[in-house]
Amino acid sequence: MNRTRIMNESVKHLFNRVRQSLVTFVLFGLLVAGGVGSSRAQTAQPATTPSQASVHSVVAKQAALVSEFEVNGLKVLMKRREGSLTVAAGLFIRGGSANINAQNAGIETLMLSAATEASAGFPRERMRSELSRMGTVIGSSSNNDYSVLSLASTRMNWDRSWQIFTDVALRPSFTKEDVGLVQERLVVSLSDDTDNPDVYLQKLQDKVAYAGHPYLNSTSGTPETVAKLTPEDLRAYHKKLLETSRLLLVIVGDLNAAEVKTLVESSFGKLPRGAYKPEAVPQLAFDKSVVEVTPRELATNYIQGVFTAPSLTSPDIYPMRIASSMLRDRVFEEVRVKRNLSYAPDAFLRTQAANLGGLYVTAKDANQSVRLMLSEIQRLQTEPVSATDIHGVIAQYLTTYYLGQETNAAQAGELAQYELIGGGWRNSIGFLEKLTAVTPADIQRVSQKYMKNIRFVVLGNPRSVDTGVFTGVAGE
């Protein structure tokens, strides 16, 4: 069983048990921590939820920390955090799965990983030595919607770290040796996917959920597609992507925006603009519930089901966040706490341009576990929740959210995600206003609209699965 998932679920359950005591403390305390309110305002404010005026003030103050400008078509977001001893930067590449096809899947991931090995000005040994001396980290990652070349450094070593980062981004070496090492590492990792039940389950889920959709082309690629890529392929692909219209630069730290702009002009400002225009990602649509079982001799069954969910640009995302959190807590209570059928049952909501929510459980008794989970969906669809429950879930959600936003890297990622697929970076700090406006009727409406026609995958014993249980409850 995935230990990270287990640990996360245990933490979530702890939050659930104390969330009623957090309603006042978290919602209002976070506002005070954000620089809003005085002792007089605190005593005048209701104990259950912050005023809209206070929330609006927090949003305005957070927005004021972000500078937005363009350099030769490259959009730059700079968030200043005074006193921060670290700096995080990310050069984001738009497109994700839309940039690749079934033949070259994995090329963007390999290209970025190989680029971090060495550049024209910083060969492998020199780069490793300098990065190690400064404690600077240059890395990369990819998802269905975009990729990023990332930098994390101390404020003291920012200037030198930035010099190395820009050389990696603009002049990667792509030597045969460097590409070969990274390529071999990726191929081995991809070849082992079926050994880990959780990883394999996600692969099976992707095939079912993304059939006929651009997301079916995995940005990680396959062992076959990655193995056949050459340094020449990476150089050509890198040249194609280096257009400012394809890129977004986000920096978070105690830096001066004017000075940052000068640095960007002298590096990325020399790139061609290009004429890239992102195409809208087609939304997913499931017309019926299905269940696909992959036989595997395991101690338990691994089960996941997904349903379509609103994107970050949809007004429905706010009640859906709360509904998903409620579903997660209720599923944990019914499946784990009351019946001990599974150690880590979960309900989740992703953040993609074509979005999904879903259910996850590992259980020997697959039918009873899924029946209980679907029953909780049905409860959300048919039984109104109370405003008190909503406020409690918001407190719990915000606690988890703000804990996850403590680092500069996390804040840079959040700004980028909303700028690229969420309707603009301002939505990343305006969500609190939208959450506090959610009503019980909104929860019931989005549960009915989205939590249906679930596509299940099961890795385990086919004899333990009654497909009627999976497809005949909630949403049919």
Exposure string for 147-174, b = 16+ CB within 10 A, e = fewer: bbbbbbbeeebbeebbebbbbbbbebbb
Residue 391 lies in a domain: yes
0.85 exceeded by the pTM?
yes
pLDDT at 431: 83
How confident is the model at residue 8, as a pLDDT?
Answer: 44
Segments in 383-426 forming alpha helices (H) = 387-404, 408-421
At 73, which amino acid appears? G
Residue 50 and residue 12 share a domain = yes
CATH number at 305 reads: 3.30.830.10
Within a domain: 117: yes
User: Which phi and psi angles does 298 have, rounded to 5°?
Assistant: -135, 165
Q: Is residue 437 domain-resident?
A: yes
Q: What is the pLDDT of residues 332-354, one digit of tens each?
A: 999 999 999 999 999 999 999 99
Closest CA to 322 of 472, 423, 440, 182: 440
Residues 447 and 307 reside in one and the same domain: yes
Domain that holds residue 163: 65-270
Indicate the residue among 229, 250, 270 that finishes a domain: 270
Q: Classify residue 116: in a domain, yes or no.
A: yes
Q: What is the CA radius of gyration of the chain?
A: 24
When divided into structural domains, the chain yields a total of: 2
CA dihedral (373, 375, 320, 457) positive or negative: positive
Residues 441 and 320 in one domain: yes
28 with 88, same domain?
Answer: no
Three-class SS state of 21: helix
For 208, the token pair is 């079912």
72 and 156 share a domain?
yes
> Residues 229, 306: one domain?
no
Judge if 80 and 40 occupy the same domain: no
Q: What is the pLDDT of residue 77?
A: 98
Domain assignment present for residue 275? The answer is no
| Pair (50, 85) in one structural domain | no
**Residue 421 and residue 351 in one domain:** yes
In a domain, 172, yes or no: yes
* Domain assignment of residue 8, yes or no: yes
275 burial level (CB within 10 Å; 0-12, 13-18, 19+): exposed
Q: What is the pLDDT of residue 163?
A: 98
What tokens appear for 285 in the block?
A: 């649509």
Low-confidence ranges of the chain (pLDDT < 70): 1-59, 473-476
Q: Of 270, 291, 309, which marks where a domain is finished?
A: 270
Residues 350 and 456 in one domain: yes
The Cβ of residue 78 has, within 10 Å, a number of other Cβ atoms equal to 25
Give the pLDDT confidence score for residue 50 in this predicted structure: 54
Domain final residue pick, 270, 300, 321: 270
Q: Are residues 241 and 324 in the same domain?
A: no
Closest CA to 79 of 260, 227, 213: 260
Residue 277 covered by a domain: no
For 188-220, give the DSSP string: HHHHTGGGSHHHHHHHHHHHHHSTTSGGGS-TT
Q: Which contiguous run of DSSP H or E holds residue 93? A: strand 86-94
- Same-domain check for residues 146 and 233: yes
